[in-house]
Structure 1
Amino acid sequence: MPMKRITTSEEAVNCIQDCHTIAVGGASGYAVPEKLLEALGKRFRETGHPRDLTLVHVFGVGNQCDKGLEHLAQPGLFRRVVGGHWSMAPSMARLAAEDVFEAYNLPAGVMEHLYGAAAAGRPGITTPVGLHTFVDPRLEGGKLNSRATEDLVEVTVCDGEEYLFYKVIPIDIALIHASESDTAGNLGMSQNAGFWHNTDLAQAAKATGGSTLAVTCKLVDSGVIHPRDVRVPGCFVDAVVVDPDQKQHYELDFDPTLTGDAVKAESEFRDFPFGVRKVIARRAALELTPGAILNVGFGVADGVVKIAREQGLADTLTPTIEHGQFGGIPAEGLLFGGMYNARAILGSPHMFSFYHGCGVDQAYLGFLQVDREGNVNVSKLASSIIGTGGFIDIAQRARKLIFCGSLAVRAETELSSGGVRFVNHGRPKFVEKVDQITFSARFARQSGQEVLYVTEAAVFRMTDDGVRLEEIAPGVDFDTDIVPQLGFKPIVAETVRTMPLELFTGDLLPRRLFSHYGG
Structure 2
Amino acid sequence: MDKTVANLAAAVAGVEDGMTVMIGGFGGAGAPIELIHALIDRFLATGRPKDLTIVNNNAGNGHVGLAALIEAGMVRKLICSFPRSADPVVFTDLYLAGKIELELVPQGTLAERIRAGGAGIPAFYTPTSYGTDLAIGKPVEQFDERPYVRERWLKADVALVKAETADTHGNLTYRAAARNFNPLMCMAAAVTVVQARRIVPAGGIDPEIVVTPGIFVQQVVEVAHPAQEEDLNRANAVYPGVA
Q: Do these two structures clear the TM 0.5 threshold for a shared fold by scoring above it?
A: yes
Q: 1:9: which partner in 2?
A: 8
Letter in 1 for 2:182: N
1:407-432 CA deviation, whole Å, 9 max, x = no partner?
xxxxxxxxxxxxxxxxxxxxxxxxxx
Larger Rg: 1
Shift of residue 19, structure 1, vs aligned partner: 1.1
Is 1:239 matched up with 2:219? yes
Q: TM-score, normalised by structure 1?
A: 0.42
Q: 2:241: which partner in 1?
A: none
Contact 1:5/1:239, CA 8 A, preserved across alignment: yes
Shift of residue 224, structure 1, vs aligned partner: 1.4
1:96-130 CA deviation, whole Å, 9 max, x = no partner?
22211221211111011011111121222210011
Q: Distance in 2 between matches of 1:23 and 1:181?
A: 19
Q: Distance in 2 between matches of 1:188 and 1:20?
A: 27
Q: 1:80: which partner in 2?
A: 77
Q: Which has the higher contact order (CA 8 A, sep 6+)?
A: 2
Uncovered stretches (5+) of structure 2, i.e. residues with no partner:
235-243
Q: Distance in 2 between matches of 1:217 and 1:123?
A: 34
Q: Distance in 2 between matches of 1:133 and 1:169?
A: 21
Q: Distance in 2 between matches of 1:238 and 1:61?
A: 26
Q: Distance in 1 between matches of 2:194 and 2:2?
A: 14
Change (3 A) 1:103 1:61: closer
Shift of residue 9, structure 1, vs aligned partner: 1.4
Change (3 A) 1:4 1:82: same
1:218-265 CA deviation, whole Å, 9 max, x = no partner?
111111111122111111111112111115x4457xxxxxxxxxxxxx
Q: Could you say what secondary structure the match of 1:111 adopts?
A: helix
Q: Could you say what secondary structure the match of 1:17 adopts?
A: coil
Contact 2:154/2:188, CA 8 A, preserved across alignment: no
Letter in 2 for 1:157: E
Q: Distance in 2 between matches of 1:251 and 1:18?
A: 29
Q: 2:240: which partner in 1?
A: none
Contact 2:187/2:216, CA 8 A, preserved across alignment: yes
Is 1:60 matched up with 2:44? no
Q: Distance in 2 between matches of 1:75 and 1:199?
A: 27
Q: 2:179: which partner in 1?
A: 195
1:12-44 CA deviation, whole Å, 9 max, x = no partner?
111011111100001111111111100112222
Q: 2:238: which partner in 1?
A: none
Q: Distance in 2 between matches of 1:95 and 1:120?
A: 34
Q: Distance in 2 between matches of 1:60 and 1:225?
A: 31
Is 1:181 matched up with 2:166? yes
Q: Could you say what secondary structure the match of 2:115 adopts?
A: helix
Q: Distance in 1 between matches of 2:89 and 2:151?
A: 26
Q: Distance in 1 between matches of 2:105 and 2:24?
A: 16
Letter in 2 for 1:217: R
Contact 2:25/2:178, CA 8 A, preserved across alignment: no
Contact 2:118/2:155, CA 8 A, preserved across alignment: no
1:334-353 CA deviation, whole Å, 9 max, x = no partner?
9xxxxxxxxxxxxxxxxxxx
Letter in 1 for 2:186: A
Q: 2:125: which partner in 1?
A: 126
Q: Could you say what secondary structure the match of 2:135 adopts?
A: coil
RMSD over equivalenced CA pairs, Å: 2.0
Matches within 5 A, 1:447-458: none
Contact 1:215/1:243, CA 8 A, preserved across alignment: yes
Q: TM-score, normalised by structure 2?
A: 0.86
Letter in 2 for 1:222: A
Contact 2:33/2:229, CA 8 A, preserved across alignment: no
Contact 1:29/1:250, CA 8 A, preserved across alignment: yes
- Among 132, 141, 156, the residue aligned to 1:171: 156
Contact 1:31/1:192, CA 8 A, preserved across alignment: no
Letter in 2 for 1:193: A
Q: 1:398: which partner in 2?
A: none
Detail structure 1 runs of 4+ shifted over 3 Å in the superposition.
191-194, 249-252
Uncovered stretches (5+) of structure 1, i.e. residues with no partner:
138-150, 253-333, 335-519
Is 1:112 matched up with 2:111? yes
Contact 1:65/1:90, CA 8 A, preserved across alignment: yes
1:174-220 CA deviation, whole Å, 9 max, x = no partner?
1110111111111111x343421222211111xxxx10000111111
Contact 2:116/2:154, CA 8 A, preserved across alignment: no
Q: Could you say what secondary structure the match of 1:31 adopts?
A: coil
1:20-70 CA deviation, whole Å, 9 max, x = no partner?
11000011111111111001122223322112111111x2364x3222212
